[in-house]
């Protein structure tokens, strides 16, 4: 299949410089749009939404190993072996992160957010408004390890 080449639209500014697993609510974060490509009109009306979805790139050294099969989330022996597409670990094919965070303020080309689990300098690939019409429909089901993993995440 043809490769897909993306041009980051901006960058994450975060008080966290190293990837750690938990406690992301304590991190101050914003997204700075690339001023060479965008003006404030690209964000017009975004503040009518309470939340945004941020698509970003888990940047890492080029030789960083990417999981393509199954492993235990966080290496926890008490959690099951699950496929890389059944978990949200960053060492995954294409290293994309998708997180819905609360929009605090739009200030020119900068978007202040709460609950963005991306470290300083992460390339941002897209920003979308969170619409209730795109929420999951029907009853939710998830395994117990997924709830346990999230217990201290925020």
- Residues 110-149 within binding reach of a copy of itself (CB under 8 A): 115, 123, 125-143, 146-147, 149
Distance, CA of 120 to CA of 105 (rounded, Å): 19
Quote the tokens at residue 143: 């395994």
First-last CA distance in the chain: 37
What is the pattern of x (binds a copy of itself, CB under 8 A) and - over residues 10-49? -x---------------------xx--xxx-xxxxxx-xx
Shortest distance (Å) from residue 12 CB to a copy of itself: 12
* Cβ closest to a copy of itself, residue 41 vs residue 78: 41
* Cβ closest to a copy of itself, residue 112 vs residue 130: 130
Quote the tokens at residue 96: 């994309």
**Which residues, numbered 74-93, are part of the site for a copy of itself (CB under 8 A)?**
80-88, 92-93
Distance, CA of 87 to CA of 97 (rounded, Å): 12
1 binds a copy of itself (CB under 8 A): yes
Shortest distance (Å) from residue 118 CB to a copy of itself: 13
Distance, CA of 112 to CA of 52 (rounded, Å): 11
Sequence-distant (6+) residues with CB within 8 A of 108 are 40
**How many chain residues are in contact with a copy of itself, going by CB under 8 A?**
76
């Amino acid at each position: 299949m043809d490769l897909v080449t993306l041009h980051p639209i901006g960058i994450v500014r975060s008080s966290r410089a190293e990837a750690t697993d938990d406690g992301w609510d304590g991190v101050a974060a914003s997204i700075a749009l690339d001023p060479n490509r965008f003006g404030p009109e690209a964000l017009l009306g975004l503040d009518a939404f309470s939340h945004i979805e941020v698509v970003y790139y888990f940047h890492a050294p080029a030789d960083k190993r990417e999981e393509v099969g199954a492993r235990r989330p966080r290496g926890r022996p008490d959690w099951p072996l699950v496929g890389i597409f059944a978990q949200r670990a960053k060492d995954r094919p294409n290293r994309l992160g998708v997180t819905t965070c609360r929009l605090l303020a739009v200030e020119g080309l900068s978007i202040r957010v709460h609950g963005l689990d991306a470290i300083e300098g992460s390339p941002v690939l897209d920003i979308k408004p969170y619409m209730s019409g795109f929420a999951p429909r029907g009853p939710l089901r998830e395994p117990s390890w997924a709830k346990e993993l999230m217990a201290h995440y925020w």
